[in-house]
Amino acid sequence: MKRVLVANRGEIALRIIRACRKLGLQSVAVYSDADENAAHIWAADKAVRIGPPAAAKSYLDTRIILEVAKATGCDALHPGYGFLSERAAFAAECAAEGIIFVGPSAEAISLMGDKAEARRSAMKCGVPVVPGSDEAFSDAEVAVKAAPGIGFPILLKAKAGGGGRGMRIAPDMASFRAAFVQATSEAEAAFGDGGIYLERFIGRVRHIEVQVFGDHAGRVVHLLERDCSVQRRHQKLVEEGPSPVLDEGVRQAICAAAVKLASSINYVGAGTVEFIFDVESRDFYFIEMNTRIQVEHPVTEMLTGTDLVAEQLLVAAGEKLSFPEAPFKANGHAIELRINAEDPARGFMPSPGVFTQWRVPEMPGVRFDSHVYRGYEMPPYYDSLLGKLIVHAPDRVQCIARALDALDCFKVAGVATTIPFLRKLLTTPDFIGSAIHTRWVETEFNHAA
């Protein structure tokens, strides 16, 4: 591996470029017209325009992405997260062109991308799953007949994707049909597949995910867990590790389950096995696997002292995992806060515009991954993520205090951000006492705020 096409934009494109530079690899960036002044263009060794602002005609156009990779002599391609990162057909196309796809095999992406197949895979190797349907439904009438056997409330989830799209909660049969029509329509628009999987909705749960990594020699390890329970409309806002609600016995069990599942499908590269955890019963259930690097991977890097993106590149090139044989132990506590160009005072409405002021915290134990600079114009076409504030400290109490100090150091003007919202969130008794759940922001915090 000598030259890597970075098939993404924003902060993750910069993150990949830094990892390439660290390993002595050349990087080629791609950009749309909306990103002609983006920082990842300057950071890469070479940059190529790929089309107009619309993602479908630029970052999601597999034909032009592969053409650029071949024309620039790239022997590898890193998809980052989002966009083409979990498209099995694209991974297969890369392989057919002799380009290393920095990620798992097309087969693994396809298997875990289909929630019904992922569920069957988990059950097969003894990993607990939430009660639900074994098949995805595209016909509302068929789904209506299956719903009573699962029991209400029911969570409807898109078969072919995640990120909260194609997801609805039906509290009873009276609301089920409308929820199904909405979910399947949204899933079809987002993923080109309107199939919907049904599972029992368990209300006050924590969202726990385990970072796994596999190599071509068949070794699969875990790098501990992250707690991603602070969410809004199924979108993560705050992630931390270790989870403050897991005891050591549950921690070992949930991490072992993640490794068991990943090993059963011969998983290669970075991946995340996601679970819901019922704090009262102490039971956990597999919900899905993300076959890519996660937005929140820096939490794990801070806890373990690793570079997950560099490790992705090394493993994709055929190297064995560089991680020690002994299981990882968390070094202190880490919290990541996603800072978005959204206005919380206006229902989190997107806030594109020009940054007339932009100063970020620079202090010990603080990392900020971002592509923004003073004078940068936030385009309205893509995800609203501006950057990720990652804070590390010896324990959770000190970590929260350091995060608050870091938030106070931001000086931002020209674009509304979620910084005030995050600061308020970190000071609430529920968050400090870790008495939260995945719907806490919507059902309790927003009303109190």
CATH number of residue 159's parent domain: 3.30.1490.20
325 and 443 together in one domain: yes
Shared domain for 192 and 213, answered yes or no, is: no
The total domain count for the chain is 3
Query: In sequence order, what are the residues at sequence separation of 6 or more whose Cβ sits closer than 8 angstroms to the Cβ of residue 275?
Result: 207, 208, 209, 210, 254, 257, 258, 284, 285, 286, 287
Domain that holds residue 41: 3-102
Residue where a domain stops, chosen among 200, 228, 245: 200
Q: Are residues 186 and 224 in the same domain?
A: no
Give yes or no for residue 172 having a pLDDT over 60.
yes
pLDDT above 60 for 336:
yes
355: phi then psi, degrees, rounded to nearest 5: -80, 105
Beta-carbon-side half-sphere exposure of residue 33 (alpha carbons within 13 Å): 6
Q: Is the pLDDT of residue 318 over 60?
A: yes
* Whether residue 145 sits in one domain with residue 14: no
Separation CA 341–CA 175 (nearest Å): 33
Residue 369: which of 297, 300, 425 has the closest Cα?
297
Asked if residues 158 and 97 have their Cβ atoms less than 8 Å apart, the reply is no
For residues 157 and 79, state if they share a domain. no
pLDDT at 124 over 90: yes
When pLDDT is averaged across residues 109-113 and rounded to a whole number, the result is: 96
Q: Is the pLDDT of residue 449 over 70?
A: no
Q: Where is the domain boundary, 172, 200, 228?
A: 200
**pLDDT digit string, tens, across residues 360-378:** 999 999 999 999 999 999 9
Tokens representing 328? 């990882």
Catalytic annotation, residues: 292
Over residues 158-181, mean pLDDT: 89
Distance separating alpha carbons of residues 155 and 180, to the nearest angstrom:
10
pLDDT of 164 higher than 80: no
Domain co-membership, 15 together with 91: yes
135 pLDDT higher than 90: no
| pLDDT, mean of residues 316-344 | 97
First and final C-alpha spacing in the chain: 51
Global pTM? 0.90
Q: Supply φ then ψ for residue 24, to 5 degrees.
A: 75, 25
Same domain, 34 and 145: no
Confidence category of residue 24, pLDDT binned at 50, 70, 90: very high
For the cut 60, the answer to whether the pLDDT of residue 337 exceeds it is yes
Lowest mean pLDDT among 3-12, 110-119, 224-233: 110-119
Confidence grade of residue 419 (pLDDT, cut at 50, 70, 90) = very high
pLDDT, one tens digit per residue, over 246-267 is: 999 999 999 999 999 999 999 9
pLDDT band at 447 (very low <50, low <70, confident <90, very high): low
Q: Which CATH number characterizes residue 15's domain?
A: 3.40.50.20
Last residue of a domain, one of 165, 200, 235: 200
Rg (CA), the chain: 21
Instruction: Tell me: do 62 and 21 sit in the same domain.
Output: yes
**Contact in structure between 264 and 124 (CB atoms under 8 Å):** yes
Domain assignment of residue 261, yes or no: yes
Give all strands (DSSP E) within 341-421, no chain letters.
342-343, 349-350, 353-354, 357-359, 366-370, 377-378, 385-393, 411-413
Domain shared by 181 and 213, yes or no:
no
User: Is 144 part of a structural domain of the chain?
Assistant: yes
User: 114 in a domain, yes or no?
Assistant: no
pLDDT at 73: 98
Range list of β-strands (E), 97-254: 100-101, 154-158, 168-170, 196-200, 205-214, 220-232, 235-241
159/48 same-domain check: no
Q: How high is the pLDDT of residue 448? A: 54
Q: Which helix (H) or strand (E) holds 121?
A: helix 115-124
Report the pLDDT averaged over residues 208-213: 98
C-beta of residue 183 within 8 angstroms of C-beta of residue 196: yes
Question: Letter for the amino acid at 234?
Answer: H
One domain, residues 43 and 160: no
Write the CATH number for 298. 3.30.470.20
**Which tens digit of pLDDT belongs to each residue from 37-53?**
999 999 999 999 999 99
* CA–CA separation, 204 and 246 (whole Å): 15
The CA distance from 292 to 280, in Å, is 31
- Residue 350 pLDDT greater than 60, yes or no: yes
In this prediction, residue 359 carries a pLDDT of 97
Q: Where are the alpha helices (DSSP H) in 285-354?
A: 297-304, 308-316
